[in-house]
Amino acid sequence: MYVNKYHNRKPIILEPGLSIMALNVNRFIDDAIAEIKRDVSGRAIIGLSGGVDSSVCAMLAHRALGDRLVPVYVDSGLMRQFESERIEQLFQDIGLVRVNAHERFLEALKGVTDPEAKRKIVGETFIRVFEEEARKIGGDCLIQGTIYPDRIESEGGIKSHHNVGGLPERMEFKCLVEPLRDLYKDEVREVARALGLPQEISERMPYPGPGLSVRIVGEVTKEKLDVIRKANAIVEEEVMKFCPWQAFAALLGKATGVKGDNRVYGWVVAVRSVTSRDAMTADVMEISWDVLRRISSRITGEIPSVTRVVYDLTPKPPGTIEFE
Ligand code: XMP
């Protein structure tokens, strides 16, 4: 059984044999701010992706450090449609710095097909960009929004989450501060609401740090990224109204199809939509046939190079939520 010091109210049953106590949000916020003040003596960088974890972490760190905090958004080219612009808008008040690193990530991922290698490369590339930004401001501390399940999955050898097992062995940073390390996702959302973050952030669907790179099976290329970014946007548009835990598209490979009178050897896109409580396990979401048919015809109609769309029927376990 996992218990941490903030869990001092009614128990929540996560799965048979595993329960936690509900979070005392205000005490958590006070303690996290105190911890950041104690651990950071100079200036610090926070990696802000716009997801609920890093946004909560950035708000706590901003309260603790004010101008001594520089939030950095690395535009990796692996993000969803229009996401970078939106994040820039939302966090301009706390001095967000946006770094364009599209080419750098593509170059680093070139020819790499192994999923764990991809995660490690993404994790390392993020850190190298953060180090460069830290040097510019004379900071030696990195703050990250790592949460409890990221650690469990990395330490349990399931996946090296880019911000835990995917971190490089050597980093220039003298300190790494992770104030959310003991929280589950739904607890992070509670903290987000208490901090007054907009609903668009507090209720945001989880999105993996390595982004679209773990939604492309095999090598990541610019062409594949463009295809999957569009397909992903269609899936989100059609499925978000049913409140899934996560809903997205992944690129599997190529297969033969017919478009007009022509044979086309095009991309196979998988649609995945799951329900979950904490991402440790997940169930396939039941979606009506009409919606599935509309998704399929929109993806093949709006993206000429896609010939086939499939719906993933695998729960976790034995599948994982992401494909890589
Ligand atoms: P899996 O695929 O392991 O995913 O079932 C569980 C949850 O974690 C997210 N995920 C990641 N998040 N870095 C992250 O920040 C990662 O490397 C990573 N891999 C998976 C995934 O989207 C799901 O919510």
pLDDT per position as a tens digit, 229-265? 999 999 999 999 999 999 999 999 999 999 999 999 9
User: 120 CA to middle of ligand 1, Å?
Assistant: 13
What pLDDT is recorded for position 166?
78
What one-character DSSP code corresponds to residue 285? P
pLDDT at 287: 97
Tokens (6 digits) for 84: 């970078």
> Is the pTM higher than 0.85?
yes
Exposure on the CB side of residue 183, measured as CA atoms within 13 A:
25
Q: What residue owns the CA closest to ligand 1's atom 9?
A: 208
pLDDT (0 to 100) of residue 11:
54
**Closest ligand 1 atom to 246 CA:** 24
193 and 29 in contact (C-beta within 8 Å)?
no
Question: Tokens standing for 218?
Answer: 């095999």
Integer CA distances (angstroms), 241 to 109, 113, 129, in order: 34, 34, 36
Ligand 1 center from residue 10 Cα (angstroms): 28
Return the best residue to mutate from 125, 159, 178, 215 for the ligand 1 pocket (most ligand atoms within 8 A of CB): 159
**Ligand 1 centroid distance, CA of 224 (Å):** 20
Residue of 170 and 192 predicted with greater confidence = 192
Q: Distance, CA 322 to ligand 1 centroid (Å)?
A: 6
- H or E element that contains 302: helix 289-302
Distance (Å, whole) CA 190 – CA 186: 6
pLDDT score for 153? 79
pLDDT at 155 over 60: yes
Do residues 173 and 6 lie in contact, with contact meaning Cβ atoms separated by under 8 Å? no
Separation between Cα atoms, residue 197 and residue 101, nearest integer Å: 27
How does the average pLDDT of the chain come out, rounded? 92
Q: For 52-96, what is each residue's pLDDT tens digit?
A: 999 999 999 999 999 999 999 999 999 999 999 999 999 999 999
| Cβ < 6 A, ligand 1 pocket | 119, 150, 153, 159, 161-163, 206, 208-210, 214, 246, 279, 316, 320-322
Q: Which of 39-48, 155-164, 286-295 has the lowest mean pLDDT?
A: 155-164
153, 273, 276, 277, best to mutate for ligand 1 pocket (most atoms within 8 Å of CB): 153
Res. 108 pLDDT band, cuts 50 70 90: very high
Q: So what's the pLDDT on residue 17?
A: 52
Which whole number is the average pLDDT over 158-171? 83
Per-residue burial over 57-92, b = 16 or more CB atoms within 10 Å of its CB, e = otherwise? bbbbbbebbeebbbbbbbbbbbbbeebbeebeebbe
Q: Which of 3-12, 190-199, 256-265, 309-318 has the lowest mean pLDDT?
A: 3-12
- pLDDT at residue 220 above 70? yes
Angle at the Cα of 59 from the Cα atoms of 169 and 120, rounded to 5 degrees: 20
Instruction: List 323's β-bridge partners, or say none.
Output: none
How many angstroms does the Cα of residue 34 sit away from the middle of ligand 1? 29
Q: Which atom of ligand 1 is nearest to the CA of 122?
A: 17
C-alpha distance across the termini of the chain, in Å: 29
- In the three-class reduction of DSSP (H, G, I as helix; E, B as strand; rest coil), residue 224 is classed as helix
Could you tell me if 18 and 2 are in contact, meaning their C-beta atoms sit under 8 angstroms apart?
Answer: yes
Burial of 166 (0-12, 13-18, 19+ CB in 10 A): buried
